[in-house]
Structure 1
Amino acid sequence: MKQAEFSDSVVEVKFGAWCLNIKRQIISDGTVEKELEPLLYKILSYLILNQNMIITRENLIEDVWCQTYVDDNAINRAISELRKILKSPQQSELVVKTHYRKGYSFVPSVEFIGSEYQNLPIDNLNKPDVIKKAKPVINKTRLRAFLLLLLVSILLISFIWPVKNREVKTTYKDYQEEVLSMKDGTHSFLVLSPNEKNLAFIVSKNEGLESYLINKDLITGREKVLFKIGYELTPVGWSYNNSDIIYRQNSGKKDCQVFIIDSNFIGEAKHLFDCNNLPFFGEGVNNTNFVYSKLGYRNRDELAVLMNRNLITGEEYQISSPNLNSYGDKFLAHIEDKNKVVFERHQFGFSELYIADTEGGAQTHLYTTKNRIWSLNYDQKSNSLLWYDNVDNILYQYSLVSQKLLQKVSMQGVSGYSTTLPLSPSEMLATQYPYTRHIYQLSLDALNLENIAPENINTFNAQNTNNGYIYYLLNDAQIKRLAVLDTATGTVSIKSNIIDFSIMKVSSDGEELLALKNNVIDIRDTAELSLKDTITVDGNIVNVEYLNNKNIGYILRGDTATSNTAYLYDRATKKSMLLPISNPVWFEQLSTSKFIFLSAQNKLQIFDSWNNLITHEFELNSVLYKHSFALNDNKLFHSDGSNIYLYDLNLGFKANAELIYTLKVGLITQLSYAKELGTLAFTTITINNNKLVKAIEVPK
């Protein structure tokens, strides 16, 4: 690692026409004074301190951004911005030189000014002091004392280390709910103002076709309402000074715009920029800049990246670098007094909590969890982060001082929640869980839709089979169960009262199922759930499918930008074979040598393994919720969350997508096709009315 910070003895640095003030982080040419943003100051300091070297992009990523990967565009923008600031009528010579395919170097000569106004040679700053001394005589008493101190230190470390890393036990506390809003409709999208005095949220009706943006004063209870006919409104975030609300409005697939308006909804809203149809969040980090999650990164609809946008000029730059084999980065909170942003990196199968400065530097991983972190709040009093896991119903508190969990609280006596905002360890704003899951069966001949799931159960992952049975998972009091529905009689039987997997695939004949658990695939029969085989892999599994002859295809999530890998597990040899498919997120087998897969760039592609080339490519419509696929007998069904399309590949690989059904109510989460029955089974989510509440800890 190269030197990145000035010595404490340096107060100013002179180079060319400029003088850099270390403490104030400004540059002056005697006429003009310019303040440097923290990231630009850090880059300039780094170049100065390593002026006799060519600084590579890898050096900048490691020593300035302090990350493992930074997008090239982010580096280019930062260097370009630094060059703009260093331009001056008095400074005509080049300051930062680009070395083609190598990196950058600092050109002007440098003079360091010390705290007592003496000139400090640069060699003294870049090299440790070397002082020759006589060889000391070893003092045995001191040696024994040193060894004793070393032994005590080792014992302390052996005690403190397990204490620090010990799993925090869950405590149980009673809470009661106070209703803050019970308007007719669905309450959602809670966004707290930076001073925590106001709450922006929406109430939607008629399946989201009618939505009201509400600003609620949490002290007085007064509310201001914004409504636009024909538009769906959702809050994105607040301005830095708490006076404005930034919101998103859309009226169709391609009509999505972001506006800013006075928080009292007085006057005209100002258009900021266009967006896509998926919701996102952000917050003003100063009087001009806004940090938010931008979807569509690298042409992937569901992949988000953190951006820092100047709301006056419209210029923005990337401040995070998610790997392409993930869902990207979701903005969670801005910590004003630390100039930090907190965000979730949503990986396949788990989530990671990160903190970074508002320019993207000093990115630090804090915590990893198996469930999503949908929202989070900073508690200034305890200098900790608070979030609620609405799967396990646990309130987490994470200390930024010790960088570890402080407590996990199981909140007793509360409703199921969809969105939450903890105000403190004892108070939390929340909306009651409004979603209901259903299983539908669609007859492809008559296009008749039938709701076949029992009412009032939380069902998911429905699997259609040719023998007339539909297997599905259900959540019952936080316990996952495996059930099977006989479509002929409508009867349901529970195959297992408790299971330890959330993703499964059932073979088309209904005789087997694949149970996915992190890096393990269990192959079980459906009659007794007895274990037939186990596939253990080195990595996290993104997707698993039955292929031809009941062989198994699976995808491993990679750690770099293009490293998802696909494998075919041969049941006869019990060996896995790597397939030369580039960065897939889903794939299936069409024939012995042909595969169809969804790339990370949201393109369907036909891959010929015999000739090792992609023969055909299909453009997909923009996703409305998530992409789902089902393939059987060369008929590929695709859903974007609302519509179901058919690619009949029996007609050739140039077949166009045929729209066969549009769901009027709810969102499609997953598809399954039974060829012999001519039916599609799919799971949906529908939205019901709910309430906005405050959960308050009951004093003992």
Structure 2
Amino acid sequence: MSQAHFLTQGSTMQVGEWLLNIDRQSINDGDIERELDPLLFKLLSYFIENDGRIISRKELVENIWQQSFVDDNAINRAISELRKALKSTKQPGQSIKTHYRKGYSLFLPLCSPPKESKIQPQNLKTNITPEALPAQPLTKSLQRKYSSWLFIVALILITAALWLYSEPAKTTSTSSSSKPYLMLKGETISWHKGLYANLLLPPDKSKLAYTLKNVEQKIFSDLYVMDLKNRKEYLIDSGYVAALGWSDDGEKLFYYKCSDSDYSSCIHLQASHLKSGEIKKEPMQDHSIEVREVTQYNEIGDIAVFRRNKYRGITHLNALYAYDKSTGEELRITTPNIAGTGDYFLTSISNPNRIIFERHNLGQSEIYIANLDGSSLQRLATNSHKVWAATFSKKSNSLIWYNRFDSKIDSYSLDSMQLEKAVEAPIDAANYVYPLSKKSLLISTDLHDYDVGILDLKTATTNYIASADRHEQDALALKNEKIYFSTRYGQKLKHWLKTNNQYFNITDKLGTEKKIIAANSTSTQLLSYSNKQLEVLNAKDYSVIKKWKIPHQINLAAIKNNKVAIIYTNADSQNNELMLLNTENNNRVVSDIDTPISLAWFDDARLIVNAKHKQFLILNSLTNTYSMLTTPDSITNIKPSLITMASNDTTLFLATEQEVYNVALNTMQDPKSVFKLKPYNYISNIKVNNDKLAVSFLSTSNLNSIKLYTENAPKY
């Protein structure tokens, strides 16, 4: 088996309109920069080194995969993804040519770029075009060249459209002082004694699919479809089932059904003839999609768009893929940030066919529109919280979603390519919210609740501070048996102290914007964050001791003596970064650790950092240097499921979604489980102070219902 020889470090190569940077393993064309996956980089490098000849599939297997056998689907997928990566408005034509029964060859010209033509990464734009281009099939038509005169005309039309809509956009600015208000009246349209979840609407909004779990009678779910015109419910299936998506005409519902609760054996099914008395259920068309890895599946004509996890080998990172049922070609169409959980399909629109999806980053989410092959990507909006559901209005040619934290209906006009004025529309706390129009909302009422468990590390006893009218979160165990926690109502916070089974509202001292994110070991200082400002507060009177302006979203913080460490999402790159601060000076030190996710103090000077690496890291806060931390397999095996960490002077606490482990810092051996949640409860945060571990968690098992909200009396 031969060994491929790739391009040397420090060199660049002009590949068509793309500049290939060997060190960064990236390409850019002056407008776009794309980082190539290791496999795609190796594949492109091999094509470059063998330019001018046809490379067989066998040769690719031996030199790229370096195996004796590779499945044909894997080769097809890699070639398709490389073609997609090499496609842009500047490079629209064919890049990798297929030679029937022979192999592939590079179809782009090569040359060494002059020094002055090198493009600096900081000048690159993140959006491909200001307006989505018509979608193309995932077949040979994707490879047709655009003529130069058509491209010039398109640029002129786009420029004219942007100019024409620049003035009207001013009149619909969301900064206007007069906010529209919509009074909605709620009507319960489905109520069974159980848990409604997994709500899905087809693009035409004629039906609603949902699962219902009867918590008293059975552990599995019923899958229903409701005809929204006559409100009739149809039972589709029962068992370990969940809806995956719809066909674009709303005539087929796709779902999966598993043989047991661990979802180890599942099949994909489709239901049709939903309005008849004889619902037709059959297996979905057989293709290469791995069932266990797919959590969404929608069909738009002959193209299936689905969501698959384990992108880049990360368990909870999801990307969207397209599958052409007529040709069997599969193509990854989105490239999510590693600092987040990836991309989530929202809806599709037609004429031309395009998809709308949401990118779930740490600290914020983004809504995008793109063609079915992932091209012409356009970011439409950025939100502080996830949307999870959106619909398209043909009447107004706009995308609509509900901001549950600001209690307002947001919309984006695809005519003006502008956000429209938000409309305030208070409703009940909701799990899913689908706008049927700009004046009607379909919701499932909230099945979530937040609670806090306080584990006494000396006595190994746990107390919960749940109350019926509060949603407790972000708790801290302070001195003198005081427990701090906050509750959230929309974007506003309320702050509480619990002592001797009494609750004291301290919101007037902290305000509704500040979020308390940490406390020092003596509980004399609190760390707060709001409006891009980080503050150290006196725990007695809440006066400000020290403050910093942080122009990014802070995700996690830890304070030790005079040192503060924070993990934040960089507003420009959208990547996680780690910063070190000192309460006694204005020094700021940014670590170059790649994608830190969580941290905890190891001692007075060093931090344990959980990053995307296979091992934990030790960061010296004095020298800003780090090294790998050697841990036994029992700790390393926890890392892929780890969501956060905390520590006191002797112990490191590792939290997964449902369990907390402790490890002695002096040995870093033998993790032991100290806190475990019941099913359908999920840990969101942990803090350890004063020999008490505060565990904030989310419960998802409250009984709920489906409501339809319609306009009652609008006021302006």
Normalised to the residue count of structure 1, the TM-score between the two structures is 0.74
Matched residues in 1 for 2:513 and 2:255: separation? 40
What's the counterpart of residue 341 of structure 2? 327
What's the counterpart of residue 390 of structure 2? 376
Correspondence for 1:238 among 215, 221, 246: 246
- CA distance 1:575–1:249, shift in 2 (3 Å): farther
Matched residues in 1 for 2:679 and 2:671: separation? 22
The alignment's C-alpha RMSD in Å is 3.9
- Percentage of identical aligned residues: 20
Structure 2 residue matching 1:77: 3-state secondary structure? helix
**Are 1:469 and 1:484, in contact at CA under 8 Å, matched by a contact in 2?**
yes
- CA distance 1:410–1:199, shift in 2 (3 Å): same
Mapped pair 1:284 → 2:299: yes
**Are 1:179 and 1:693, in contact at CA under 8 Å, matched by a contact in 2?**
yes
- CA distance 1:240–1:532, shift in 2 (3 Å): same
Mapped pair 1:423 → 2:431: no
Correspondence for 1:641 among 654, 657, 680: 657
What's the counterpart of residue 47 of structure 2? none
**Are 2:173 and 2:421, in contact at CA under 8 Å, matched by a contact in 1?**
no
Mapped pair 1:219 → 2:229: yes
What's the counterpart of residue 464 of structure 1? 477
Matched residues in 2 for 1:182 and 1:491: separation? 36
**Deviation readout 1:450-505 (Å, 9 max, x if unpaired):** 2224332122111123542211111357641111112xx11221222332134522
Matched residue type, 1:205? N
What's the counterpart of residue 77 of structure 1? 80
What's the counterpart of residue 141 of structure 1? none
**Are 1:324 and 1:561, in contact at CA under 8 Å, matched by a contact in 2?**
no
**Deviation readout 1:393-417 (Å, 9 max, x if unpaired):** 11112211011233322224x3222
What's the counterpart of residue 577 of structure 2? 565
Superposition map of 1:647-666 within 5 A: 647-650=663-666, 652-653=667-668, 655-666=669-680
Structure 1 residue matching 2:374: 3-state secondary structure? coil
Structure 2 residue matching 1:455: 3-state secondary structure? coil
Mapped pair 1:587 → 2:599: yes
Matched residues in 1 for 2:539 and 2:698: separation? 24
**Are 1:71 and 1:321, in contact at CA under 8 Å, matched by a contact in 2?**
no
Structure 2 residue matching 1:338: 3-state secondary structure? coil
**Are 1:295 and 1:304, in contact at CA under 8 Å, matched by a contact in 2?**
yes
**Are 2:402 and 2:408, in contact at CA under 8 Å, matched by a contact in 1?**
yes
Matched residue type, 1:235? A
Alpha-carbon offset, residue 384 of structure 1: 0.6
Matched residues in 1 for 2:79 and 2:103: separation? 21
Matched residues in 1 for 2:296 and 2:165: separation? 42
Give the number of aligned pairs: 591
Alpha-carbon offset, residue 246 of structure 1: 2.0
Matched residues in 2 for 1:415 and 1:424: separation? 18
What's the counterpart of residue 493 of structure 1? 504
Structure 1 residue matching 2:171: 3-state secondary structure? helix
Correspondence for 2:355 among 341, 366, 373: 341
**Deviation readout 1:617-666 (Å, 9 max, x if unpaired):** 54344878x7132211242222222222222333x23x243233321254
Superposition map of 1:174-573 within 5 A: 174-206=183-215, 209-229=219-239, 231=240, 233-249=241-257, 251-252=260-261, 255=264, 257=266, 259-263=268-272, 264=274, 266-270=280-284, 273-274=289-290, 280-287=295-302, 289-310=303-324, 316-412=330-426, 414-444=427-457, 447-476=460-489, 479-486=492-499, 489-497=500-508, 498-502=511-515, 504-517=517-530, 519-547=532-560, 549-558=561-570, 564-573=576-585
- CA distance 1:377–1:79, shift in 2 (3 Å): same
Matched residue type, 2:703? N
What's the counterpart of residue 574 of structure 1? 586
Structure 2 residue matching 1:337: 3-state secondary structure? coil
Matched residues in 1 for 2:192 and 2:151: separation? 68
Alpha-carbon offset, residue 690 of structure 1: 1.1
Structure 2 residue matching 1:172: 3-state secondary structure? coil
Matched residues in 1 for 2:35 and 2:420: separation? 32
Matched residue type, 1:383? N
Matched residues in 2 for 1:445 and 1:192: separation? 51
**Are 1:301 and 1:602, in contact at CA under 8 Å, matched by a contact in 2?**
no
Matched residues in 1 for 2:104 and 2:679: separation? 65
Alpha-carbon offset, residue 694 of structure 1: 1.2
**Are 2:319 and 2:335, in contact at CA under 8 Å, matched by a contact in 1?**
yes
- CA distance 1:382–1:580, shift in 2 (3 Å): closer
Matched residue type, 1:255? S
- CA distance 1:285–1:166, shift in 2 (3 Å): same
The answer for unaligned runs of 5 or more in structure 1 is: 1-51, 103-121, 129-154
Matched residue type, 2:310? G
**Are 1:202 and 1:211, in contact at CA under 8 Å, matched by a contact in 2?**
yes
- CA distance 1:320–1:124, shift in 2 (3 Å): closer
Matched residue type, 1:56? W
- CA distance 1:282–1:347, shift in 2 (3 Å): same
**Deviation readout 1:17-52 (Å, 9 max, x if unpaired):** xxxxxxxxxxxxxxxxxxxxxxxxxxxxxxxxxxx9
- CA distance 1:280–1:397, shift in 2 (3 Å): same
Matched residues in 1 for 2:415 and 2:359: separation? 21
**Deviation readout 1:275-314 (Å, 9 max, x if unpaired):** 668x944421222x22233333223333322221346777
Superposition map of 1:32-47 within 5 A: none
Matched residue type, 1:183? H
- CA distance 1:562–1:415, shift in 2 (3 Å): closer
What's the counterpart of residue 48 of structure 1? none
- CA distance 1:313–1:544, shift in 2 (3 Å): farther
Moved more, 421-430 or 444-453: 444-453
- CA distance 1:261–1:484, shift in 2 (3 Å): same
Matched residues in 2 for 1:393 and 1:222: separation? 29
**Deviation readout 1:93-141 (Å, 9 max, x if unpaired):** 9672686999xxxxxxxxxxxxxxxxxxx9997999xxxxxxxxxxxxx
**Are 2:17 and 2:29, in contact at CA under 8 Å, matched by a contact in 1?**
no
Matched residues in 1 for 2:425 and 2:375: separation? 36
**Are 1:179 and 1:691, in contact at CA under 8 Å, matched by a contact in 2?**
yes
Matched residues in 2 for 1:165 and 1:622: separation? 45
Matched residue type, 1:77? S
Structure 2 residue matching 1:630: 3-state secondary structure? strand
**Deviation readout 1:332-380 (Å, 9 max, x if unpaired):** 1111222111112233322222111110111112222323222100001
**Are 2:242 and 2:256, in contact at CA under 8 Å, matched by a contact in 1?**
yes
- CA distance 1:156–1:567, shift in 2 (3 Å): closer
Matched residues in 1 for 2:32 and 2:382: separation? 17
Mapped pair 1:619 → 2:636: yes
- CA distance 1:224–1:447, shift in 2 (3 Å): farther
What's the counterpart of residue 167 of structure 1? 175
Correspondence for 1:56 among 18, 42, 54: 18
Matched residues in 1 for 2:112 and 2:700: separation? 53
Matched residues in 2 for 1:329 and 1:676: separation? 40
- CA distance 1:171–1:463, shift in 2 (3 Å): same
Normalised to the residue count of structure 2, the TM-score between the two structures is 0.73
Matched residue type, 2:222? Y
